Structure 1
Amino acid sequence: MASAKQQENMLLTEHFTWPPISLIDDIINATNEVLYRCTDSFETGLLSADPALLGFADRYAAESRVSEKDEDGNDSFPEARLEIEEGVLKLETLMENAVDKNFDRFEIWTLRNVLCLPRGEEELGRWVRLGHYENLQTPPKDSKLTPESVHTLRREFIETQKLNAALVAEKKRNDAIIANLRAWLQPNPTTKLEPRNSTSPAKPSNNGTDASAPFAFLTHTPAAQSLGIQPLPQTSSTTAAPDSRTPLTTHTTFTTSQLPYLRQLLASLQPYLATTALPTSTASTTSAGEMTRERKVYVESQSKRILERRGVDTKDGVEGVWDGRRVGAEEVRGLEGLVQSMSRGRDKAEDAGAGAEQGEAMDTS
């Protein structure tokens, strides 16, 4: 169990929100800092002064010593700097001892007479109630709280605080996004938007451009107002009443509510799509021919790439391979001419045979 002095210190620390001894330490530290600045300034002033004015010239004369000369011909006293540093160090030590002695007395007197509870009453700290303890309900003695349950509650409280901070940050981000979206829909009051046609976006009627609200034509043009869409109210705050409804919100809600009926209608029409022929048009025929041509070009390009990987030269075209070597264009054209000649001869022979058969038939008749 804590002693009466420890209870008093804990009570004062909780009341001041800082330990009483920390105030005394801060005062002593500030005094020492001023002391060190004073000794540094004092040493700097002595080192910058002429040693002869500090009595070193008289000391040399009394001791019958001759001072040295520097490069400029002035008297030089090498031991002057060392003696100044030693003297300043002794002065600093003397002042530190004086500060420690006097401020120790100050610390004892303050803790006994100022930063303390009134004397003469035993264990007064046990009966003092601070302001933040008012209306605090203490748990009954038969409480089922255990150290484990208290630790669990503390962890839940910490996690709740983290969740609250995350939700507050998310709310701020959402408010910023909503403010930006509203700015896109709310043009400058001094800017008048022209009606938007199908080929050009809405433009201000004046020479300036309202680039801060690129989607203002959705709610602020006569065409939008003819559809029943009213412009958003010009409010400075980004938050609106929870139950406030705008025409755009109403239209969106109605459209969303009709989606289940549209899905049901589409499901009822799917069985008829398999038995119903779709009408053909010239556009569809042209599209099919274009797809066929693109497919042919793709097949030829892929075939050419495969032949190039296998070492076949495709610079003059790809007409085929004969006996492991590439057949040139001239050879292919010669073979085509030979085949055509043979085809013409076969056609002539067939024509001659047909004529003979026809003559025999005429004679028989």
Structure 2
Amino acid sequence: MRLLWRPAALLATTALLTACPDKKPAATESGSPTEEPLRKAPVFNADSAYAYTARQVSFGPRVPNTPAHVRCGDWLVAEFKKAGLTVQEQPFTAMAFDGNMLRGRNIVARFAPQAARRVALFAHWDTRPFADKDQKKPNAPLDGAVDGASGVAVLLELARQLAAQPDSLTPAVGVDFILFDAEDYGYDTSTQANLQNKLAGSGVESWCLGSQYWAKNLLPAGYKPEYGILLDMVGAKGARFSREQTSVQAAPEAVAKVWNTANRLGYSDYFLYQDAPGITDDHVFVNQAGIKCIDIIDHVPYGDEYFPPYHHTTQDNMSAVDRATLKAVGQTVLQTLYQE
């Protein structure tokens, strides 16, 4: 993903970059005394989510056009099917910024497909093919344990938990788990200025190729959930989640639901009532398809850098993953579903 806008050295002006801008959000900072009580929801299993993260990493870097990518995709499909979900695959071909033609596939797994009211949960399952922010190994592939695998792992555990519940204890909405491919094979002007972006001027963003394809070819056809939640970089030690500007602008009610639920569950140290610049991430294209979608992504001011230090480096491995963060995100999203 890339930054769109950010405060210039934390001043009032903003500059067009590769991620998103700062603005006062519409989300409520605390619940009212009359708010609905928290409903009973299953306990999110952070150990299981951690194991799902490690399993993805074990395939090797999940770079499109590689055997590891194919094997991991097959495993993801099998895991959703094992949980009893209805699964559809959406293969596509897209040109990357360097001219490579990528063979990708989006994966859609539906829980309670008969339910009329629906909520969409998104993540990307590919990894960046080069650690271009790494000071020592900028051309090395990376594990993507946090950036990619952690979001997918939370969705897999949520699917497993929902499928394990008797009908009387499932949420009042159907849930669609949608995994996007080829999100992270983009052109970064800050690290790749010596390369040519062959997509420049084409009308195609170099990042988020899978979600761009899905947004133009909705699967299921005519898909219209009440809202969507994108999970990206949701498993790191010390992670903090600010309210990203595009999310606040496009789906303020969903931002309020998630952040207030996190606060009520005791996760206010993770979900900060703080605004963040917007970023080009998969939720941008989901919103362009007419679906209100927010982004839960690790961001707290890191000086002039939007992203945390492990981002697009070889340090994004299992040593960066924390069960407590997976728990905070997973339980918050699970409780949000049960509040519907």
Normalising by structure 1, we get a TM-score of: 0.13
Relative contact order, CA 8 A, sep 6+: which one is greater?
A: 2
Higher strand share: 2
Normalising by structure 2, we get a TM-score of: 0.14
Higher helix share: 1
Q: State the structure with more CA Rg.
A: 1
